[in-house]
Amino acid sequence: MYVIPAIDIIDGKCVRLTQGDYAQKKVYNEHPLEVAKQFEGAGIQRLHLVDLDGAKAKHIVNYKVLERIASNTSLTIDFGGGLKSDEDVRIAFESGAMQITGGTVAVKNPVLFASWIARHGSERIILGSDVKDRKIAVSGWQEQSELELLPFLSDYVQKGIQYTICTDISKDGLLQGTALELYKEIRGEFPSLHLIASGGVTTMDDLYRLRELGCFGAIVGKAIYEGRISLKEIETYMA
């Protein structure tokens, strides 16, 4: 299982929110490339990069940050936040993203999202399935749809999706553990889906449990920045 650190960007800086609330923003580093290089130095191979300005603006904003990290590290970057058009996706890939994540667009414009899968291939498109009370949330988690999680996943598995990042919003940023039962259920329903767990990872024990469930990856954010999980521990795990 891959340990995938998250870098969330506002105004070009590395920040974290709590439960997607822009009012609960904490700046951790003004230079995201420095952070990415620290991750790479610990043997980490993948990075989850989120354009929070883009999520709010509904189009890509921080592609220059993506470009700097992609051109100065060997990290496999998945990029999300505000990707709503073919042009946004083109800019993301040309700026160095290996994969892009679409959540809101998959709900609000499923025809467009399905066209990205067909055009770019299911290896490069990740379905964002962010969930609260078992329903899909969109627009930077500011809106809740009426779509139930499992039917939503089933629909896109049939359309060829191979990867999903599933965030339990109720757990995100609280450092109180992750949604193990939810991920166990998803793994049981869709054993071939590359499930990337996100939200609430707090300790190395959380990572070992997610690995036992068969998750492809686990996104870690605040636990790293707040020192709950050290890069040394991740380096040992990766080795």
Question: pTM, whole model, 2 decimals?
Answer: 0.94
Q: Which residues of 206-220 are buried (b: 16+ CB within 10 A; e: fewer)?
A: bbebbbebebbbbbb
pLDDT in tens, 54-110: 988 999 999 999 999 999 999 999 999 989 999 999 999 999 999 999 999 999 999
Q: What is the pLDDT of residue 141?
A: 63
* 24 — pLDDT class (breaks 50, 70, 90): confident
Q: How far, in Å, CA of 97 to CA of 75, rounded? A: 10
Least confidently predicted of 7-11, 130-134, 206-210: 130-134
144, pLDDT greater than 90? no
Joined together, the tokens standing for residue 84 give: 């709503």
Q: How far, in Å, CA of 212 to CA of 128, rounded? A: 22
Q: What is the pLDDT of residue 38?
A: 97
Cβ-contact 35, 29 below 8 angstroms: yes
Q: How far, in Å, CA of 203 to CA of 21, rounded? A: 23
pLDDT in tens, 170-211: 887 777 899 999 999 999 999 999 999 999 999 999 999 999
Cβ-contact 126, 101 below 8 angstroms: yes
* 18 — pLDDT class (breaks 50, 70, 90): confident
Q: Give CA 122 to chain center in angstroms.
A: 16
DSSP state of 229: S
Q: How far, in Å, CA of 195 to CA of 16, rounded? A: 22
pLDDT in tens, 159-172: 999 999 999 888 87
Give the closest residue to 101 by CA, choosing from 156, 151, 180.
156
Concatenated DSSP letters of 209-230: HHHHHT-SEEEE-HHHHTTSS-
Active site residues: 8, 130
* 140 — pLDDT class (breaks 50, 70, 90): low
- Give me the domains of the chain, ranges plus CATH numbers: 2-238 (3.20.20.70)
12, pLDDT greater than 70? yes
Q: What is the pLDDT of residue 22?
A: 80
